[in-house]
Amino acid sequence: MSEKLKYVGKYIPIHDIEEKVTGKIKYVGDMIFPKMLHAKLLLSDIAHGRIINIDTSEAEKLPGVKAVYTYKNSSDTLYNSHKWIEGLEVIKDERLFTDVVRFYGDRIGAVVAEKKEIAEEAIKLIKVQYEELPLVLDPEEAIKEDSYKIHHRDNLLYSKEIKCGNPEEKIRGAEIVVEDKVETPKIHHGAMETHGCVVDIDSYGNLTVYTPCQVVFQVRLIISEIFNLPLNKVRVVKTTMGGSFGGKGQPILEPICAFLSLATKRPVKLILDRTEAILSTRTRTKTIGWVKTAVDKEGSILGRDIHMLVDAGAYVTNGDAVAMAMGKKAFKLYRIKDQKYSTDVVYTNTPIGGAARGYGSPQIHALTEINIDNVARALNMDPLELRLKNLVHPYDKDPTGGPELGNARVIDCVIKGAEAFKWKEKYSRTKDEGRFVRGVGMACAAHGNGYYGAYPDFITMSLRINEDGTAVLKGAIHDQGCGTNTTMMQIVAEVLKMDINKVFVPEADTLLSPYDTAGTQASRVTFVCGGCAKELSEMVREKLIEYSSEILKCSKEEITLDDGMIYNKMLPEEKMTYGQMVTLIQKRFSDEVGDTLTYKSPGNPTSYGVNFVEVEVDKVTGMAKIIDFLAVHDIGKAINKGFVEGQVQGAVQMGIGLALCEEFVFDDKGRIPTNRFSRYHVVNAPDMPEVKVLLVEDGEELGPFGAKSIGEACAVPTAPAIINAINNALDINITTLPATPERIVNALKNKM
């Protein structure tokens, strides 16, 4: 019989809820330091050009301006903000301020002043003259040999493929081959808190960087490399974060703020407004994908060939990594023995692509899941039955030789979800004939649990029970606002049998936290960091029990831990608190009740999700409305059910945006009219359907308490499920996302 759990699997409120709802919590924008200067960026107002003159004289004369910096008086060291660990090979093409503008919103200067308002006024006084250069906005144009080179190298940055079997032969010999081309757009992350940073400097030139980042050791590494500083002269403190979704996964402002602080010898604060965040930070990577899928008449997939053209934007950052992450996901969802994934990554004169929730998974699954529905249509087959026939099974092997898929319960997700959604009934109903028509769609998705099998993936944590019976877990934890710290508290409290409110988990700090390779990225936090917290807690519990058995003069088996109390179960009336026992242990054994563990990720199982959607479409206006939505996820075990449901609901909102309304729009000059929320349309609360969440919890052997990732996996299947529902309703084939009303109306016209 399994042990009854007190904290794990329960609805536990987030640890800082009171501070957040009362406004007491401090974000980086609330930070104030003595003699702090305020910075404002100068961003380019053209998409491609060489600066031939930049006049900062009027700005420098403005009272209160401390200094103005451009490419002329700043570091010219090239770097790549994607580099998160030493030894990672990257293309270095970024610098603090550029003399060649490569996209609308590129950084060309900064003002530091005594007040924010002065810096904002000074920016307007800087005059810039450009020699405009040819624009390359379309990735299909960028890849051509005669396209204008955006950097001093070809626009084609990277080409690679992953392959198993002989897909070319299977496709050539198949009776049925279904081909599709699917495009996904650049998208803004839309976190409530925009990007910001504060850097303080002491009299010895030591920097302290306060930032809502995802990897403090990455920020330290990048700053150290740019300015040739020893690592121990750069301290990075992760501040309370108001969301990221990958947008704060690379040091964007931190190197600039560090430079300005080093140059002025004063603390500097830099906070972006929404337009600056949209234009000058990172986007979800735009993709154009092609797929050929060969099947037999019974619906067995014989072979598949995928090619993905990835638009890195004006600088490479992690374009190649995202491209390869997409490819690896393509082999983890269906049993396809003969399959190829190839990719080309290109520069364009558009905002920089980067990490975004799902890290390529939404793009690759949009391509493959829309195609799967079209395969079903070609076979006149229920798309649910086609999927059931081909989906992976628990403990299947990755056909490319990657890590085992683990307890893959995607088929369970489909079966249970179909019953709850009433798929058979809705899919087989008679089509509507009037202006408003309904359709249903579904999509499946696969996502990983960390970097195992690709990059080093380990974390070091220390855990100590204090003399008053409280406990502190130190690790480089980066809570993005979704409850990571609380999750760690639940794990520690569960293992140590103590009150969760007596467990403290501080945020990451390079000076105080043990080392961690990757922070909050790659869906590794619950699986890797949580795995470390659980194993370390078990080590500390064993140490507590072992010492206590000697003090209480009984066997270890007779020791009982219960809600922060410890006693010999044969003498339950002689209880003492953990604090009392810790004090006795210190006196008798000259030791503390604590330990440190470096935990290496034990594997990389796959998390699965299936979304079911019903839409209603107005054939006159092209407006699509979501009527019913069910999200089913194979997560092993929910550590905190409230957090999991919240993650899924938020991810669905983002997926609806990708499917229906969100995209960067460019004019013929490369300018971006969708540069504020009044023009860039995110999905608002009134637009949201009721999102029903169904969890499949069958346990993942390698995960803490059987848990695996959910935060990114839940963002993946939404968009293709909605597109499939629209196509089902209208009997059309929308393959360019988002499916705006205009695109839907045009598709209907083309059908006639």
Phi, psi (degrees; rounded to nearest 5) at 538: -65, -35
Rounded to whole angstroms, the Cα distance separating 692 from 483 reads: 21
Of 476, 481, 415, 413, nearest to 647 (Cα)? 481
- The string of pLDDT tens digits covering residues 265-298 is 999 999 999 999 999 999 999 999 999 999 999 9
pLDDT of the residue at 2: 59
- Average pLDDT on 508-518 reads 98
In the predicted structure, residue 748 carries a pLDDT above the cut 80: yes
Of 129, 379, 85, nearest to 217 (Cα)? 85
Rounded to whole angstroms, the Cα distance separating 379 from 390 reads: 14
Of 348, 312, 343, 340, nearest to 325 (Cα)? 343
pLDDT of the residue at 223: 99
- The string of pLDDT tens digits covering residues 20-32 is 999 999 999 999 9
More confident residue, 403 or 542: 542
In the predicted structure, residue 699 carries a pLDDT above the cut 80: yes
pLDDT of the residue at 433: 86
Distance from the Cα of residue 383 to its chain's centroid = 29
Structure tokens that stand for 140 in this block: 């299909």
- Average pLDDT on 566-572 reads 95
pLDDT of the residue at 623: 98
Structure tokens that stand for 267 in this block: 């603390």
Burial group, residue 678, by CB count within 10 angstroms (0-12, 13-18, 19+): exposed
- The string of pLDDT tens digits covering residues 701-727 is 999 999 999 999 999 999 999 999 999
Which residues, 6+ apart, have CB-to-CB distance to 180 below 8 Å? 290, 291, 367, 370, 371, 374, 733, 735
Rounded to whole angstroms, the Cα distance separating 552 from 576 reads: 11
Burial group, residue 685, by CB count within 10 angstroms (0-12, 13-18, 19+): exposed
Give the three-class secondary structure for 602.
Answer: coil
Give the three-class secondary structure for 425.
Answer: helix
CA distances from 321 to 139, 140, 345, 491, 668 (A): 17, 20, 10, 32, 30
pLDDT of the residue at 1: 36
Rounded to whole angstroms, the Cα distance separating 46 from 95 reads: 18
CA angle 283, 288, 292 (to 5 degrees): 145
Which residues, 6+ apart, have CB-to-CB distance to 223 below 8 Å? 207, 209, 229, 234, 236, 251, 254, 255, 258
All structural domains of the chain, each given as residue ranges with its CATH number in brackets, are 28-133+195-271 (3.90.1170.50), 283-449+603-751 (3.30.365.10), 453-600 (3.30.365.10)
The side-by-side arrangement of strands in the sheet containing 624-634 is 436-447, 607-618, 624-634, 691-696
- The string of pLDDT tens digits covering residues 650-681 is 999 999 999 999 999 999 999 999 999 999 99
Q: Are 740 and 748 in contact (CB under 8 A)?
A: no
